[in-house]
Amino acid sequence: MNKKKIIKIVAEIVLILLMGFILYRLFRDSYKDIGRQLANAKIQILLLLLLLGNLYYVIDSIMYYYLFRKEGYRISFFRCLAIGYMCIFFNVTTFGAGIKPAQVMYLRTKGVDMGKAISITTMPYVFHKTLIVIYAVVLLIINNSFVKNSFPSAIKYIYLGVGLSLVVIVGMILVGASEKFHNLLAKLTDRIFRKEKHRNVNAGIKNLMSNLRESTKDIVKDPKAWIIFSFTNFIKMSCWYVIPVIAIYATGGNPGGVTISQAITTTAIMQLIMGVIPTSGGVGSLEVVYALVFAAVFGKTAAGSSLILYRVVTYYAPFLISILILAPAGRDMRRGGKLDKHQ
């Protein structure tokens, strides 16, 4: 293990410990009440939450299946399900760093060329980020007074989250849609990595951009694809956005006059703020952001109990399911065999 990796791991551990300390300080006086609320949760509601938490990954798999069929590949839905659940498996096991490499590697063993593999695994992410911003902006407009009253000191972070997400979205879209922008980025990388020792890095980045452009330009310019993916991602994000408010009701929390729309707005704000905190895979930071945001609206006890349910049904339970799904996917990789294509 080289020095940079060691420094990165140590920094991650320190940050996670810091987040844990913040959570302890926030909930140290409320843990008994949180325990009582969790004990009162109904099993039917818990099963509903588990379903919603896993629908996120199932819907992602449907989008992969659509992209494969669009590209002419014959593929079983189970293989797409494996690709979808790789997101949570490698988010947990590699702090998010191994998700795309693992997905691309799996597709390469099935005979999908590098460009197509990058396209199929990247396009859902583009639409995912787009919907996070659109979802949040619409809700911020609808519930503007509620947001200003509930989060007066966090407004700048909310806008920063919107801005950073927009930069990522616009950049990825332009790489596929604009040849001029693609060439401009290529020139920029030449200037940044102009030293001889960085030649391989520069070549790798330019090759990645070229693969991304060639394999995504048709999808980015396809209005039908935008409609399908936007609607699908709206359903996917809604599955997760309603989980906190259901969890609060399930544990007997007091909504305090907060409407469902305002509760979902709170979740959307949490997702935006998450975009400006530099932690791999959201480990630790999600808990802190969730606790602070929901405590400001529903109180510490409701925030703490719903946080536990939210994390279980969106993180830990899907991870356990991913192990069951990826075990046969691993055997599928070892067997080899290529995906057929329509003529």
What string of pLDDT tens digits covers the 343 residues of the chain? 566 667 666 666 666 666 666 666 666 666 666 666 667 778 888 899 999 999 999 999 999 998 888 888 888 999 999 999 999 988 888 777 788 889 988 998 888 887 778 878 887 877 888 888 889 889 988 998 999 888 887 777 777 777 887 787 787 777 767 778 878 888 888 888 888 777 887 787 777 777 667 656 666 667 777 788 888 999 999 999 999 988 888 877 667 788 889 999 999 988 887 766 655 555 667 888 888 889 888 888 888 888 888 988 888 889 889 999 998 888 888 787 788 775 4
Cα–Cα distance measured from residue 272 to residue 294, given in angstroms and rounded to the nearest whole number:
14
pLDDT the model gives residue 334? 78
Question: Dihedral through CA 74, CA 77, CA 216, CA 204, nearest 10?
Answer: -100
pLDDT the model gives residue 248? 85
Task: Identify the H or E element spanning 73.
Answer: strand 73-74
pLDDT the model gives residue 264? 93
- Where helices occur in 143-259 by DSSP H, the ranges are 144-150, 155-177, 179-192, 199-220, 223-241, 243-250
pLDDT the model gives residue 315? 86
Contact 274, 285 (CB under 8 A): yes
Name 245's Cβ contacts closer than 8 Å, sequence gap at least 6. Answer: 255, 260, 263, 264, 267
pLDDT the model gives residue 219? 67
Closest by CA to 146, choosing from 266, 254, 300, 247, is 266
Alpha-carbon torsion 99, 100, 105, 106, what sign?
positive
Number of H helices, E strands in the chain: 16, 2
pLDDT the model gives residue 22? 61
| Furthest-apart CA atoms within the chain: distance in Å | 65
Cα–Cα distance measured from residue 237 to residue 169, given in angstroms and rounded to the nearest whole number:
17
Cα–Cα distance measured from residue 275 to residue 135, given in angstroms and rounded to the nearest whole number:
14
pLDDT the model gives residue 124? 81
Going by their DSSP bridges, the two strands 73-74 and 340-341 should be labelled as antiparallel
Structure tokens, 119: 């396209």
Name 116's Cβ contacts closer than 8 Å, sequence gap at least 6. Answer: 71, 107, 215
